[in-house]
Structure 1
Amino acid sequence: MGASVPPGPISYIPPSSTQDRALPMPAGTSPFHVKGLAYRGFEAYAKRNVEGGMDRVRTEIQDPGLRDFLKRPFLAGSWYDVLPVVPLAAALAGLERSSMEDFVKRSSRRQALYDAQTVHRRFFEGHPPSSLVWKIPRLFTQYTDFGGTEVVDMGDLASAEAGQGMVLRTGVPTFILPWFIPMNEAYIEALLGVMGSERPTVKGQVVSKDADVSGVPTVTLRLRVMW
C-alpha cells in the first residue's frame, strides 16, 4: 500500500465534457491505447441493439478517417488508439437517445457481468470485495498502456465485508474522461456486486493536471471504491 496521501479534487472541467467530440488527432495515431477487446465489445453491443449494427453506427460519424478506422478488424489482444472510443460511444448513445453517461454505464455493467462469468471468472471467484481494490492496477495494465495506477488508501474501516479504498490513476487523457470515468464506476461497481458487496459504490474524480502528451492534456483521477 502506498504511503502517499490522496490529493483533494480540483475545480477542473475536462474540455471533452463540454465541447465537440471531434478527435484531437487522426484516428489510430494517438500514443494512448486500449486492447481491441474494448472495440469488440462495442461491435457486439451494436450487433445486439442497433438495427444494421456497426454499419448503421458508422453513418452517424462525420469524420471519414474515423469511419475507416472503425471498419478494421479488431483483435481482442492487440493495441488500438483509445481516443476513438469517445465519438463511438457518443454515436451509440445518440442512436439510443440516451445521454453518453447513461449509455456507458449500462453497457459497462453488462460487460462486467459477462467478464466475471467468463474471462475473469477465476480472477474474482471466491474472493471478498475488498480484494478487488488490489486487483484494479492489474486490470488497468491489462487493458490500457498509458499512465499508472496506485492504491493509496484503504480507509480506517476497511475489511473484507465493508470498507473503502482509493486508487489514483495517472496520465489519463482528458479527451476520454466522458467515457473513462463512468465506465470505471459502473464496471467496478458491477464486479463488487458479483463478489458479494450489497451496496457497491465507485466515484471517479479529477484531482490534478498532468503533463500534455503529444499535445493532449492528461490528468490524475481518484477512484473511491466503497463496498
Structure 2
Amino acid sequence: MTPAKPVPLLNAANVLTVARMVLVPVFVVCVVASRMTHDGWQLAAGLTFVVASATDYVDGWIARTHNLVTSFGKVADPIADKALTGAALVLLSFYDKLPWWVTALILIREWGVTALRFWVIRHGVIPASRGGKVKTALQILAIGWYLTPLPPSLAAVGPWIMAAALVVTVVTGLDYVARAIRIRRASLAVGGVYPAPPEAPAVAPQADEPVA
C-alpha cells in the first residue's frame, strides 16, 4: 500500500489561520483607537473582526475539502478563534459596552470546553454539535453588531442578539460537559482507552468544526 502523502505545513488553510492570528492585534489597535466612540476606527474594527471571523469558516472548508488538516492547524486554529473572540469581548466590557459578567461567562465556557476536549482525548473525541455552530454564529453576529456604529434604534437590537448568544453558549457548554462525562465513563466501563492514530497526534481537534 502506498503511504499517504504528508500534508505540507505551508498550505492555504494554515496561511488563513496565521492571517487570523495576525488580524487579532490589528483588531485590538482599531478598537483602542476608536475608544468605541470614533465611527471611522470603530467601523474598521468591525470590518476587521468580520473578515477575521470569516477566515475561520474558509480555512476549515479548505482543510476538509482538500485534506490539508495538519497538527499545526489543529492547535493554532482554536487558539486563533478564542484569541479573536476573547479580545473582542474583553474590549467591549472595558469600554462599558458589555457587562463583565457576560464576558466572563462566555470565556469560561469557551476555555472550559477546550479543557474538556483535552480531558477526554484519550477516551474519544467530542465532535462539534449543531448547537456549537449556532453559538459561534450568534457570538460573531452579536460582537459585530456591537462593534458597528449604528443608529440608536438598530444598536438597541445588539443586547438581544448577545442574550441569545449567551443562552446558547451556556446550554451548549452544559451539553459538552454531559457528553464528555458519558464518553469517559463509557471508555472506562470497558477498560478501554482510545489513543489517537499515528497520523493524528493527541491534540485538540482543529476548529474546522467552526467550533464547539
Between Structure 1 and Structure 2, which shows a larger proportion of helix residues? 2
Which is richer in strand?
Answer: 1
Instruction: Flag the structure with more relative contact order, 1 or 2, with Cα contacts below 8 A and sequence separation at least 6.
Output: 2
Give the structure with higher Rg (CA).
Answer: 2
Give the TM-score range, shorter chain. Answer: under 0.3
